[in-house]
Amino acid sequence: MKTYMKQYLRKGWNALTVLFAVCLAAAGAASLSACSSDDPYFTVSENDDPRILNTDLSDKVLDRKTNLKIEIKVTPIEYTTVTWLLDNVQIAEGTTLDQTLPVGNHVLKIVATTTKGKSTSRTINVTVNPAEGDPVLAGDEKSRWLTTGTTKTIDCTNVTSLSKVIVGDQEATNVSYANGKITFDVPAMEEGEYMVFIEDAEGTRYGCGMFLVSNEAYVDPGIKETVLWEGAVDINWGDSNVTITPDNLANVPVGTTIRMYFEIIEAEYHAMRITTPWWGDNAEDQILAQFDLTDETPNPFEFTYTEANKAIVDERGGMLVVGFGYKLTKVVAVENVAPAEVTVWEGAVDINWGDSNVQITPDEMADVPVGATVCMYYEIIEAEYHAMRITTPWWGDNDEDQVVAQFDLTDETPNPFEFTYTEANKAIVDEREGMLVVGFGYKLVRITYK
């Protein structure tokens, strides 16, 4: 009986052992299945919130001929679509981007959206520079201001032929290229910033950066325009003319440019004369002696407001615009004014060589044009000596390492101290991580340019 019981218990124990092993094997198989390398983004269902798993997304800088290559890892991968938006315009779909981009500063937005409409996104900045030999259009503010309905001319380099100009998605008309300039009519479109592309005779398209489209004409910040008169008068000598009063001209300084906007109308002849309400036939009676209006006459017609002009305007009751065969529409005074200063940095730092200085990054210097006057505002503080040096974060003791070589600050040093920002300055600032203001014995309070 005891032998039988021992055999029975042994068989039972063996059965339990086998059953336990089977359970372990099943659990292991399930675990291996869930962690399979073939399904790294396993998720329960399409109801999950989407996630972009990349930890290495950062701003990019490349040239026009280099493909931007990015692979996105998302979850839940089976239920998620990835779209790529460059400046809010979709350029691709899928988890991988591998393509060239147009020249300019762009915002690249990566959007992951599930079948349930849930979405998440990541954004990076992408700077695309022209490749060597690519066409380049002038980058100053005036050149990149496009007024709708007008003809635009822009300086360019590396252009040999031109077949198309595209503003955003609108093709411009009356396109031409000559003598280092492209010319086109700005299309009617909504105001805003748009990428401009040009296409050569072989059909190669080049991105030329962002331009501002506006319904308003560009106003130079160094120019002040004052409308002296505006209307629509068909000029006919004494029967129909325009008087600009002394009060309207009181604030117009000598040396100002006066612009006369006009339209030629059907008539026997076309002539303009600018005099005073006293009229008179002698040269000294005229602001501008009579002249014929032809197809070659600039419109607006311009002249300089002189001391002699001002004297007879003040004495004789204003300026009288007469003549025949044209419609006067506007008279404008245009003055050159001192350009406004733009602040690059402001604070209060006691400068002490490497221990205490001010660094201006390349991004902060990006808008400072070559030829600008940079102004350094400072206060002398009590110290053994007083010296200023403007260099870069690379420092260096040679002339080519400096933006401005070291000099003593004395009672005779202008405040602000000013210097001209040269091509060489810009080159080392861009290459060497910015501009570094160092020295000893002064407090730096502001840096501007104008």
Q: Which of 336, 370, 403 is the last residue of a domain?
A: 336
Q: Is residue 28 part of a domain?
A: no
State the number of CA atoms in the 13 A half-sphere of 377 facing the CB. 13
The yes-or-no verdict on residue 207 having pLDDT over 70 is: yes
Q: Do 388 and 304 lie in a common domain?
A: no
Domain co-membership, 114 together with 152? no
For position 265, what pLDDT does the model report? 96
Q: For residues 117 and 186, state if they share a domain.
A: no
Q: How confident is the model at residue 261 (pLDDT cuts 50, 70, 90)?
A: very high
Tens-digit pLDDT profile for residues 130-155: 888 889 898 888 899 999 999 999 99
> Does any domain span residue 389?
yes
Asked whether residue 332 falls in the same domain as residue 385, the answer is no
Phi, psi of 5 (to 5 degrees): -65, -40
Question: Cα-atom radius of gyration of the chain, to the nearest Å?
Answer: 36
Q: Which of 99, 129, 159 is the last residue of a domain?
A: 129
Among residues 59, 150, 54, 172, which one has the least CA distance to residue 108? 59
Confidence of residue 305 (pLDDT cuts 50, 70, 90): very high
Same domain for 89 and 160 = no
pLDDT recorded at residue 408: 95
Q: Which of 98, 129, 160 is the last residue in one of the domains? A: 129
At 116, the amino acid letter reads: K
Residue 45 falls within a domain, yes or no?
A: no
pLDDT tier, 339 (very low <50, low <70, confident <90, very high otherwise): low
Indicate the residue type of 127: T
Residue 13 resides in a domain: no
Least confident window among 31-45, 171-185, 377-391, 435-449: 31-45
Instruction: Count the domains in the chain.
Output: 4
Whether 43 has a pLDDT exceeding 60, the answer reads: no
Domain residues for the domain of 93 are 51-129
Residues 111 and 194 both lie in one domain: no
Query: What CATH number should be reported for the domain holding residue 167?
Result: 2.60.40.10
What pLDDT score was predicted for residue 73?
Answer: 95
Same domain, 233 and 321: yes
Domain membership flag for residue 277: yes
Model confidence at 174: pLDDT above 90: yes
Residues 353 and 441 in one domain: yes
Strand 89-93 relative to strand 319-336, pairing: unpaired
Q: In this structure, are 431 and 393 located in the same domain?
A: yes
Check whether residue 317 and residue 284 sit in a common domain.
yes
d(CA 324, CA 62): 61
Q: Are 278 and 178 members of one domain?
A: no
Can you give the pTM of this predicted structure?
0.45
229/307 same-domain check: yes
pLDDT at 126 over 50: yes
Question: In which region does residue 130 sit, left (phi positive, over 0), alpha (psi from -120 to 50) or beta (all else)?
Answer: beta
Structure confidence at residue 338 (pLDDT) = 65
Q: Domain for residue 353, yes or no?
A: yes
The pLDDT tens digits for 221-258 are 778 889 999 999 999 999 999 999 999 999 999 999 99
Looking up residue 276, the CATH number of its domain turns out to be: 2.60.120
pLDDT of residue 46 exceeding 90, the answer is no
Band (pLDDT 50/70/90 cuts) for residue 158 is: very high
AA letter at 447 = I
